[in-house]
Chains A and B, each alone.
Chain A
Amino acid sequence: QQQVKQSPQSLIVQKGGISIINCAYENTAFDYFPWYQQFPGKGPALLIAIRPDVSEKKEGRFTISFNKSAKQFSLHIMDSQPGDSATYFCAASGDYKLSFGAGTTVTVRA
């Protein structure tokens, strides 16, 4: 049973465009929501994270929006660059473990 549902599975965006990835969760005990970026052959790298008492967090071109009542959160990548082409995973933390979404492959066309 997948505890975190992520969409879309893949997306293509033009350079300079906005990429949006959405995640939904069911377990209200989750208390930390990170996003990871993974390049082929590498381990996931922590990109940005949010706790449920905050509705939005921005770091550079990356923004997390969090809707506690809807149990949804999303990642916005502004001014997308070819170097952003990677697989992105949302996750939720609870009970000393991370539950991951299935991943979104983002391709940025120059």
Chain B
Amino acid sequence: KAGVTQTPRYLIKTRGQQVTLSCSPISGHRSVSWYQQTPGQGLQFLFEYFSETQRNKGNFPGRFSGRQFSNSRSEMNVSTLELGDSALYLCASSFTQQGDEQFFGPGTRLTVL
């Protein structure tokens, strides 16, 4: 079974631009979560979706948004990029209703210049 895939793997943007990251979960997984990983803040939860519904959202500004499609694929969008948004963005999927047993993708490395 293929793992979680994320595209693109690397991205360079400039301040003020917007970016869309994509995630394809493991086949059969309906829960998709997004995390931001930085050296200073570690792994921080962004949001979680199950069957196209956002069930929880982390403490991030409204510039961060996401959605899930009927095939469970998910996208996250960051508008008006800031230098501090440079990070590894990780997507994880889960088969369980609680979304707890999560399997991570390789991440998208976003650099904001």
By DSSP majority rule, is chain A's interface helix, strand, loop, or mixed? Answer: strand
Q: Given that A93-B98, A96-B99, A98-B33 are known contacts, is A44 also in contact with B45, CB under 8 Å in the complex?
A: no
Checking A31, A43, A100, A101 against B100 with a beta-carbon cut-off of 8 angstroms, the contacting residue is: A31
Q: Is A49 a contact partner of B106 (Cβ separation < 8 A)?
A: no
Number of interface residues of A (CB under 8 A): 22
The answer, yes or no, to whether A34 is at the interface (CB within 8 Å) is yes
By DSSP majority rule, is chain B's interface helix, strand, loop, or mixed? Answer: strand
Query: What are the 10 tightest A-B residue pairs by CB atom distance, in nearest-first order?
Result: A43-B104, A93-B100, A100-B43, A32-B100, A97-B45, A96-B56, A96-B55, A96-B48, A96-B99, A43-B106
Can you spell out 23 A-B residue pairs with CB atoms less than 8 angstroms apart?
Answer: A32-B98, A34-B101, A42-B107, A43-B90, A43-B106, A43-B107, A44-B90, A46-B102, A46-B103, A93-B99, A96-B33, A96-B48, A96-B50, A96-B55, A96-B56, A96-B98, A97-B48, A97-B58, A98-B35, A98-B100, A100-B43, A103-B42, A103-B43
